[in-house]
Structure 1
Amino acid sequence: MKRVKKIAAYLFLTVASVISVFPLYWMISAATNNSTDVLGGRLLPGLHLIENYKELILQQNVGRSFGNSMFYSCTLSLLSLLVCSIAGYGFEVYHDKRKDTVMSILLLAMMVPFAATLIPLFKLFTGLGLQSTWIAYILPTISTPFLIMLFRQSTRTFPREIIEAARIDGLSEIKIFAKLYFPTMKSTYAAAMTVTFMNAWNNYLWPKVIMMSADSQTMPMMVANLSAGYSIDYGVLMLGVLICSLPTGILFLILQRSFTNGILGAVKG
């Protein structure tokens, strides 16, 4: 009976793995085929990768779009980690009778969809003349309630005795944060970095609204442009999707263990 259950479990996991991996395989295979082969249902890799890449370069400025997305995503991730980690640290370490109320208001803000704030944000940034700038891309999402909550929960595992001892030794609050807190919370920073970078890289709605010039378009905008014409070259389209997917996939593979530890640490906290 145990053997039957074990075989059934492995069979289920195998089927689930195939279902999960197949779309990725099909995307890679389609990127090497021409549009006719893709529409014909060909599953094996083809010999049109170089042709598709040349056509992609002709249709879109891939280098600029990739560079824009990388710059926006890295800048937003670093600034967001700095702001949200300081906020989460402050919410947990410093005592104030109003901090729980403020935290509740922040959590309520998570219930408001970003689309509901598009028009006010658009009018604000266009009124300031900041449309099509990296500042307009970054500022609306530089601080998120989820990351603040993540860092606050993780800070609960940080020993208060270390903070008190450091204060007695004369360390400033900035040095305590930079030299003691930051090295201890590397897993949480890795988890937050993964989430923030992926969200920033895959963001389409806000850049589509505020980034008006062709020179400021991001990778998701470029992929959308590939599918916007009357005649769609699906081989070129899937190659664009593949290139767009690489950075987030590579980042997650590198940080997956730290990501898991960071999330588990926040839950335990």
Structure 2
Amino acid sequence: MLTGPAFRVSPRGQVLLTGSLLVILAFTVAPLYWLVIAATHTSHDIFAGAPKVVPGGALGTNLSNLEDSVGFSRVVLNSVLLSLTYTLLGGIVCTLAGYGFAKYRFRGRGLLFGVLLLALVVPTQLTVVPLFKMMVDLHWLNTYQAVLLPNLALPFGIFLMRQSMRGLPDELLQAGRIDGCGELRLFVRIALPTMRPSLAALALFLFLFQWNDFLWPLVALREKSSFTIPVALSSLQGTFNVDYGQLLTGTAVAAVPMAVLFLFLQKQFVSGMLAGAVKQ
């Protein structure tokens, strides 16, 4: 029955709703659980008999083999440093660009924002060849700037911050200007503190984007010592033989921290993604 802005669910409906959510949760968590369990078994044991549901004793062996194969500790460090640097630099670029689109009136603003929206629908694969040619001309292949710089102005990040910044009252900024605040101080002291949920969502999105990025680092990086986790794991897949114990262990190491991070920051992430969605 409809009562005001919310729906009142009957006891039977609550049971059905709860049961449905539990089933969906089980289907969602089961692959991650199996991944963690499989990471503790050898490649032979993973496919021997029924799917494993209890931990094995091969985790240490898999980690040792993984270290010997690709230098996994160095690979994890590469991914952490690249992801943190990209989150910081990309966050600055996307936030400044979003603030400019939302709060400044200048010639060509609509055209530039239209180009930004078009960039959202361009497949990443179409940009690989031009970017590769550009990196060759700049002599940046196999360098971390080749991985970081092309995606700093991420269209979705700019769009997210632009939508969030539109909810910031113009009167608040105008009052700051009357009090003598410069534009940079307005941005740092007034705009940013009000955008904390959106900044948290942007930071999480940028970190996950760089952490999981595979195609461009695969093209830009050539030496094993500079590989990121996705690229290093792909190198474990041989033509005739694949050690799934190592592969699944590396995947679990890469996936589980991200799942935990999202669980702790899901409230800020959802709040930031919804910021600007409702007109005040």
TM-score (norm 2): 0.91
Mark the CA change 1:3 to 1:94 in structure 2 (over 3 Å): closer, same or farther.
Answer: closer
Deviations 1:128-153 (A, max 9, x none): 11011111001111002211111111
Number of residue-to-residue matches in the alignment: 269
Name the structure 1 match of 2:195. 185
Higher mean alpha-carbon deviation, 144-153 vs 249-258, is at 249-258
* Aligned AA (2:30): F
Pair 1:31 & 2:26 matched: no
Aligned-pair RMSD on alpha carbons? 1.6
Q: Aligned with 2:167: secondary structure?
A: coil
CA distance in 2, matches of 1:168, 1:13: 52
Q: For 1:60, which of 61, 70, 76 is the aligned residue?
A: 70
- Show structure 1 runs of 5+ residues with no match: none
- Give the alignment partner of residue 226 of structure 1, picking from 236, 258, 265: 236
The CA distance in 2 between the partners of 1:210 and 1:22, in whole Å, is 35
Mapped partners of 1:242, 1:58: distance in 2: 18
Contact 2:224 2:232 survives alignment (8 Å): no
Equivalent runs, 1:7-156 vs 2, <5 Å: 7-40=15-48, 41-156=51-166
Task: Choose which of 240, 265, 269 in structure 2 pairs with 1:255.
Answer: 265
Report the secondary structure of 1:51's partner residue: helix
Distance in 1, Cα, partners of 2:145 & 2:212: 18
Counterpart of 2:134 in 1: which secondary structure?
helix
After the TM superposition, which of the residue ranges 5-14 and 155-164 deviates more from structure 2?
5-14
CA contact (8 A) 1:65 1:219 kept: yes
Task: Give the C-alpha shift of residue 250 in structure 1.
Answer: 3.1
Q: Percent identity?
A: 35
Contact 1:151 1:266 in 2 (8 A): no
**For structure 1, which segment, 14-23 or 44-53, has the greater mean C-alpha deviation from structure 2 after superposition?**
44-53
Q: Using the alignment, how far apart are the partners of 1:214 and 1:233 within structure 2?
A: 18
In structure 2, runs of 5+ residues without a counterpart are 1-8
Please say if residues 197 and 248 of structure 1, whose CA atoms lie closer than 8 Å, have aligned partners that are also in contact. Answer: no
Distance in structure 1 (CA, Å) of the matches to 2:104 and 2:64? 57
CA contact 2:34–2:52 (8 Å) conserved in 1? no
Deviation digits for residues 74-104 of structure 1 (CA, Å, limit 9, x no counterpart):
1111111111111111111111252122111
1:240 paired residue number: 250
Deviation at 1:265, TM superposition (A): 1.1
* Structure in which a larger fraction of residues adopt helix: 1
Q: Tell me the CA shift for residue 35 of structure 1.
A: 1.5
Distance 1:35 1:104 in 2: 50
